[in-house]
Amino acid sequence: MRRSELTLFTSREPGSQQNETVRLALRAGLIRQFGSGLYAFAPIGQRIRASIIDHVDREMRAIGAREVSLPQLNYSGMWEESGRWGDFGGEMFTFENRDGKRMCLAPSHEEGIVRLLSGTIRSYEDLPGLYYQISRNHRDDHPRSGLLRTKEFTMKDAYSVHATAESLDEQYERVREAYVRIFEDLDIEFVIADAENNLMGGSASEEFLAVAETGTADLWYCPEDDCRFGATGESPQSDLSAGDDCPDCGGSLAAGEGVEIGHIFKLGTRYSEPMGLTVDLDDGSRQDVLMASYGIGIERLLYSLIEQHADEDGCRWSADGSGIVAPYAASIIPLQYDDELAAVADYLYEDCGPDQTLLFDDPDQSIGERFAESDLLGVPYKIIVGNEFRETGEVELESRDGETEYLTIEEVPERI
């Protein structure tokens, strides 16, 4: 992208009522607030959000999940069948349509997946199955801490269906491992907490929580490497304090806050039984389908990445300033955008890929402004075309964390 053609939605006056992380997202122009609990994503924020979605999507496909798209707008019928109509902690948006029919914006999709599968899944031979979607969901939640509790948010939700408890346990474990990979690859510091089932019902559930200064829940967690023990107020082990021994490794527990970034549930027959989703077994009997559900909050991942890695200069997208969701792989920064330096910058821009690089070609910007803007957005590398190039024909590659090396023009695209 040429900087001269890019409108940045940066804000000089991010709301003083917001926490540091949301203020940075506003300052860097990733988001714009549309009201309490409602945010829009500006182009740079949307690039990052889309990369997170791509990353989650790839891992779901890799474990054999099949993508579906369920309606966000639902009639009340299936929610009455499951017994959850009007029973969603007051968080369900409900209304009447022009014909006086009761409708809602789906706060989750357990009912929807049962409706989709009803009449198609008939025999135990049709099982197991794993289905997912990545879509906007709506809950009339009390807005809190900007991107953490919003009335509209993006969820990756997945549902698995099974004939036996063994099959359900296996799939649950496979998704759990995929979640660990997803969060590790994003470089998020997280723990896993046992959770009592709440609105979803069922027999077991676990929460994935990013460690945060400002989160969605109080968290007791083990800071040891490779130990992922965590507990919240919803965990069976609720009487913990900082300094207690970690039940998993014996390390010393810390206390803080966590952002719930993922939640997985063994639902059992909580939805299939009231909604009549059954299969024929090979002995001729019928049985309720066993289910599990698996959620990831996309904006909460974005929030956690900013919160855990940002520094005084702006966003960073991983502990070492690189990161697979950075808006651009590199900024191309000529000391002046004219004559020979402009020609070299243009050449690098074409060679590295205009979609993957941000070319600072606006002659009205000072060099300091170019550096500051690149760092604010968290672009992992700056390719600086300047005095060094005039003398040696090499450009300077500077990482977001200030490490520099010198490369010939030909070496740059591969390095990026």
Q: Judged by CB, which is closer to Zn ion: 183, or 303? A: 183
DSSP H or E segment with residue 254: strand 254-268
Cβ count within 10 A of residue 353: 13
> Considering the complex, what minimum distance in angstroms separates the CB of residue 241 from Zn ion?
15
Q: Judged by CB, which is closer to Zn ion: 227, or 335? A: 227
Instruction: Give the x-and-dash track for 291-310 against Zn ion (CB under 5 A).
Output: --------------------
> Considering the complex, what minimum distance in angstroms separates the CB of residue 212 from Zn ion?
19
> Considering the complex, what minimum distance in angstroms separates the CB of residue 244 from Zn ion?
11
The rounded distance, in Å, linking the Cα atoms of 293 and 266 is 7
Q: Judged by CB, which is closer to Zn ion: 91, or 189? A: 189
> Which residues 6+ apart lie within 8 Å of 51 measured at CB?
324, 325, 326
> Considering the complex, what minimum distance in angstroms separates the CB of residue 193 from Zn ion?
12
Nearest to 249 by CA among 285, 214, 224: 224
Instruction: Give the x-and-dash track for 28-67 against Zn ion (CB under 5 A).
Output: ----------------------------------------
Residue 40, burial from CB neighbour count under 10 angstroms (0-12, 13-18, 19+): exposed
Using CB under 5 A, which residues numbered 206 to 265 contact Zn ion?
222, 224, 227, 229, 246, 248-249, 251
Q: Judged by CB, which is closer to Zn ion: 152, or 224? A: 224
Nearest to 279 by CA among 122, 96, 105: 122
Q: Judged by CB, which is closer to Zn ion: 182, or 246? A: 246
> Considering the complex, what minimum distance in angstroms separates the CB of residue 191 from Zn ion?
9
List C-alpha distances in Å: 293 to 146, 265, 386, 393. 26, 5, 54, 56
- Kindly state the tokens that stand for 63: 């474990």
> Considering the complex, what minimum distance in angstroms separates the CB of residue 229 from Zn ion?
4
> Could you tell me if residue 29 is left (phi over 0), alpha (psi between -120 and 50 degrees) or otherwise beta?
left
The rounded distance, in Å, linking the Cα atoms of 316 and 375 is 8
Residue 64 phi/psi, 5-degree rounding, is 85, 15
Q: Does 409 bind Zn ion (CB under 5 A)?
A: no
Instruction: Give the x-and-dash track for 168-207 against Zn ion (CB under 5 A).
Output: ----------------------------------------
> Could you tell me if residue 144 is left (phi over 0), alpha (psi between -120 and 50 degrees) or otherwise beta?
beta
Q: Judged by CB, which is closer to Zn ion: 222, or 358? A: 222
Residue 175, burial from CB neighbour count under 10 angstroms (0-12, 13-18, 19+): buried
The sign of the CA dihedral 355, 356, 359, 360 is positive
> Considering the complex, what minimum distance in angstroms separates the CB of residue 226 from Zn ion?
9
The rounded distance, in Å, linking the Cα atoms of 325 and 312 is 20
Q: Judged by CB, which is closer to Zn ion: 206, or 373? A: 206
Q: Which residue is it, tokens 């070609």?
A: 361
Q: Judged by CB, which is closer to Zn ion: 77, or 251? A: 251
Using CB under 5 A, which residues numbered 129 to 158 contact Zn ion?
none
> Considering the complex, what minimum distance in angstroms separates the CB of residue 227 from Zn ion?
3
> Considering the complex, what minimum distance in angstroms separates the CB of residue 221 from Zn ion?
8
Q: Judged by CB, which is closer to Zn ion: 222, or 277? A: 222
Q: Judged by CB, which is closer to Zn ion: 206, or 299? A: 206
Provide DSSP, 112-140.
HHHHHHTTT--BGGG--EEEEEEEEEE--
- Kindly state the tokens that stand for 396: 């300077």
List C-alpha distances in Å: 41 to 28, 297, 317. 11, 15, 17
Q: Judged by CB, which is closer to Zn ion: 249, or 407? A: 249
> Considering the complex, what minimum distance in angstroms separates the CB of residue 115 from Zn ion?
42
Compute how many residues bind Zn ion; rule: CB under 5 A: 8
> Considering the complex, what minimum distance in angstroms separates the CB of residue 239 from Zn ion?
17
Catalog residues that contact Zn ion under the rule CB under 5 A: 222, 224, 227, 229, 246, 248-249, 251
